[in-house]
Amino acid sequence: MIHRVEEITRIGVFTSGGDSPGMNAAIRAAVRTAIYKGKKVTGIYHGYQGMIDNTMFDMDSRSVSSIIQMGGTMLKTARCMAFKTPEGRAIAYEHVKAAGIDALVAIGGDGTFTGAEIFSREYDIPVMCIPGTIDNDLNGTDLTIGYDTANNTVIDAIDKIRDTAASHNRLFFVEVMGRDSGCIALNAGIAGGAEAILLPEKDTAIDELIDMLAQGADSNKSSMIVIVAEGDKNGGANNVAKRVKEKFDYFDTKVSILGHLQRGGAPSSADRVLATRMGYAAVNELLKGNSRATIGVRGSEIVTTPLEEALSKKELKLNEDLVEIAKIMAI
């Protein structure tokens, strides 16, 4: 969709859905790029909920001072059921229009993108999306904001678990986030030297896992770590541990579920730079007349993909080479 760029005087910025480290850096970049280009900026609190509740405020360059190093999102986020209804979106649009907002930058995951696509089409308002989620499960980009930081958080945890596992000859099952996507499990599993990695995209039978663990025990491993993505079809780390223990009692078995700590923390250098490039690109694309698209990165290039395309198909992000490498590295 092409719109008249001279009609954009005020850009609304918001974060929505699950938070991820680096969202603040994206907000900062979008705000400062818009101001640099002579545009006004409105911050919208709590994503789509803030449009409906009319919790919006004027932003300037100082509104985003000293946030690049912070996890979470200074604009807050929310899941908003009312925005899924035409009535909810009508109220949201009234408030957006009354605030003088002519274009939107939405930072979030695929739910956020879906809402943005529908809203932009319904009310003919330009929108650019920025992929912010630790899961790296969005189309149109190799990487999402927060994924690198989450991997670093997970390997930090695995390293610490390895110390205690090796001291006691223990078998640890570590559950990491990823309901549909095994990206964190696979990458952090390789970086943390996991003995086995269970992914939502792959079926790993418990007997197959036990064979792998038995080989490790035969080759004198003093500790073993199995990474289980939360969406693994065996039903999570507690279930897997229980079923393995029934048949394989060689090691003392422990479970550690990392949970929400994976979503927090200071963003890594890579996420800060990625978020800054994406925030900058989102505003520039709007001002070039581009809309209803998501910013992404392909190799080292920043690209855009129409939301319709990004939302319509599922890109397979799992790297089969890495799956094979992980197995070989565990011998």
Binding site membership for substrate: which residues?
A: 133-135, 170, 177-179, 230, 254, 260-263
Distances from the Cα of 329 to the Cα of 27, 109, 117, 181, angstroms: 39, 33, 43, 22
Per-residue tokens: 173: 């099952």
Phi-psi label, residue 46: left if phi above 0, alpha if psi -120 to 50, beta otherwise: left
Catalytic residue among 19, 53, 124, 135: 135
CA distance 47 to 274: 21
Task: Provide the minimum distance between the beta carbon of 296 and ligand ADP in the complex, in angstroms, as a whole number.
Answer: 15
- Of the pair 92, 225, the CB lying nearest ligand ADP is at 92
Residue 180: active-site member: no
Known binding-site residue numbers for Mg(2+): 110
Cα–chain-centroid distance for residue 202?
Answer: 21
- Of the pair 43, 115, the CB lying nearest ligand ADP is at 115
Nearest by Cα to 176 from 53, 50, 74, 262 = 262
Binding stretches for ligand ADP (CB under 6 A):
16-18, 48, 79-80, 83-84, 108-112, 114-115, 118, 133
Known binding-site residue numbers for ADP: 28-32, 162, 193-195, 221-223
- Of the pair 108, 231, the CB lying nearest ligand ADP is at 108
- Of the pair 18, 296, the CB lying nearest ligand ADP is at 18
Task: Provide the minimum distance between the beta carbon of 82 and ligand ADP in the complex, in angstroms, as a whole number.
Answer: 8
For the chain, give the number of residues.
331
What is the torsion angle, in degrees rounded to the nearest 10, for the CA atoms of residue 263, residue 160, residue 186 and residue 15? Answer: 10
Task: Provide the minimum distance between the beta carbon of 330 and ligand ADP in the complex, in angstroms, as a whole number.
Answer: 32
Residue numbers annotated as active site: 135
